[in-house]
């Protein structure tokens, strides 16, 4: 661990939070002299303090140890670059439009890779009034089901969470130029171009 880099990062994060050294020290139940030592690179935080420091400064412990945040390039947030993450423990569905470090239930999650729809994983799309009426014949049991369907355009993402034993139909308002993504509890992420 490079104490100089860690110190510079901690100084920047503390100022970003609008905190004084004393306020940070009080929040962690340590002395402000300790904070000063860290920020000057004279010493590094003890391992036992990293969790609390991470919590107070809203940064990952790993980033504190590296001494840098390594921010993403701004890409305008184009929704068509969306990435989906699904927690295998609780089923939480998380999205991002750029590189992200996502974790849930204590596990780091990897972005799912979308496969093109096939005969078993396919959404049928019809236009009814001003909506897309989507039906599917995928199994919907507790062990094997579609857990979400998402309609993604360049500026918005609509997600419908699905549950076992739910009927195989969903409606989305009719938008143009979108893709339909859907997650299978056993076979991951699928995409079918809207018809």
Give the tens place of pLDDT for each residue, 45-77: 999 999 999 899 988 888 888 888 776 566 555
Taking only the tens place, the pLDDT of each residue in 8-44 is 999 999 999 999 999 999 999 999 999 999 999 999 9
Mean pLDDT of 172-176: 89
> Domains along the chain?
3-66 (1.10.260.40), 88-193 (2.60.40.730)
Query: Rounded to whole angstroms, how far apart are CA atoms 180 and 184?
Result: 13
Which stretches of the chain are DSSP H helices? Answer: 3-16, 21-28, 32-39, 47-57, 61-66
User: Mean pLDDT, to the nearest integer, of 135-146?
Assistant: 93
Segment (H or E) for 161 = strand 157-161
Question: What are the structure tokens assigned to 65, written together?
Answer: 């140890």
Angle at 33 between CA 28 and CA 35, to 5 degrees: 50
Strand bridging mode 102-104 / 93-96: unpaired
User: 167-173 — which CB contacts under 8 Å span 24+ positions?
Assistant: 167/140, 168/135, 168/136, 168/137, 168/138, 168/140, 169/133, 169/134, 169/135, 169/136, 170/134, 171/128, 171/131, 171/132, 171/133, 171/134, 172/131, 172/132, 172/134, 173/130, 173/131, 173/132
Considering the chain, what percentage of its residues have pLDDT values greater than 70?
Answer: 94
Cα–Cα distance, 81 to 74 (Å, whole number): 13
Mean pLDDT of the chain: 89
**Phi, psi (5° rounding) for residue 172?**
-130, 145
Q: Report the C-alpha gap between 91 and 114 in whole angstroms.
A: 17
Instruction: Retrieve residue 145's tokens.
Output: 């089901």
DSSP 45-84: --HHHHHHHHHHHT--HHHHHHT---PPPP-TT-GGG-EE
Global pTM value: 0.71
């Amino acid at each position: 661990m490079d104490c100089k880099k860690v110190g510079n990062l901690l100084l920047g994060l503390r100022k970003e939070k609008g905190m004084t050294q004393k306020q940070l020290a009080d929040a962690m139940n340590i002395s402000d002299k300790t904070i000063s030592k860290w920020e000057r690179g004279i010493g590094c935080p003890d391992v036992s303090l990293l969790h609390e420091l991470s919590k107070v400064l809203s940064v990952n412990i790993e980033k504190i140890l590296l001494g840098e945040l390594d921010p993403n390039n701004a890409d305008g947030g184009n929704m068509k670059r969306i990435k989906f993450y699904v927690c295998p423990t609780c089923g939480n569905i998380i999205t991002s439009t750029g590189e992200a470090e996502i974790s849930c239930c204590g596990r780091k999650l990897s972005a799912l890779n979308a496969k093109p729809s096939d005969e078993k994983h396919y959404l049928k799309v019809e236009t009814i009034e001003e909506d897309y009426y989507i039906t599917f014949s995928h199994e919907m049991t507790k062990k094997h089901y579609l857990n979400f369907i998402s309609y993604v355009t360049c500026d918005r993402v609509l997600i419908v969470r699905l549950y076992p034993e739910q009927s195989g139909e969903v409606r989305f308002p009719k938008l143009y130029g979108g893709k339909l993504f859907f997650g299978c509890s056993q076979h991951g992420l699928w995409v079918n171009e809207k018809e």
